[in-house]
Amino acid sequence: MGVMLPAGTFSNRVAFITGGGTGLGKAMTTVLSQLGAQCVIASRLEVTRARTLKVHAVQCDVRDPQAVSHCVDQMEVIINNAAGNFVCPTERLSPNGWKSITDIVLNGTAFVTLELGKRLIQNQKGQNQKCQRRMKKQKTRKEGPNFRTHVVLLQVQNHFHPLHLFSKAGVSNSIYLGATEGGV
């Protein structure tokens, strides 16, 4: 299947993809690279260096805010793909299981998004006129980027994966909050 975006869509952009070494993350990295992006893939585990010049691999545990801060220099596009999950009925959830998954999915997404968002605001990248006009009318916020992020939620009964559902609900709600605050 072909890519629906024109060649060069992401030229001169740097994309940061968590969980980018395997599965969906690897596929998204491949497409972004084909569209001109310089891609940085992050993985908690060491990743074999990518085969093309447009892809760079870094070791990064998204559960660690300092590690995230170190990794997101120069990034303009993020894909929060890092995840963890295990099959478990809700009644058997342990505190350690809860912490393990929510640290990756919810906290990791928050740490990456907040760190990059703060940097984009500081560097005034990604601004658009609609967002600027709205903020000028409100006079309560500084001009900043049109910062968008999306989450894909499976709209099916996902029995025995409660941690996935709890974490993604938190991510989804934080996206709506960020969009509202950003004037999107």
Residue 3 inside a domain? The answer is no
Residue 2 inside a domain? The answer is no
Rounded Cα distance between 114 and 94, Å, is 28
Q: What percent of the chain has pLDDT over 70?
A: 72
pLDDT at 149: 46
Residue 6 inside a domain? The answer is no
Nearby residues of 122 by Cβ (< 8 Å), 6 or more positions away: none
Residue 70 inside a domain? The answer is yes
Whole-structure pTM value: 0.73
pLDDT digit string, tens, across residues 88-108: 888 998 999 999 999 998 999
pLDDT at 35: 92
- Interval 13-28 mean pLDDT: 87
Residue 132 inside a domain? The answer is yes
Rounded Cα distance between 136 and 126, Å, is 17
Rounded Cα distance between 24 and 21, Å, is 9
Q: Provide the residue range defining the domain that includes 176.
A: 14-181
Q: How far is CA 35 from the centre of its chain?
A: 18
Residue 164 inside a domain? The answer is yes
- What is the number of structural domains in the chain? 1
List the CATH number of the domain containing 173: 3.40.50.720
pLDDT digit string, tens, across residues 103-114: 998 999 899 888
Residue 9 inside a domain? The answer is no
pLDDT digit string, tens, across residues 118-155: 887 777 665 443 444 444 555 444 444 444 444 454 44
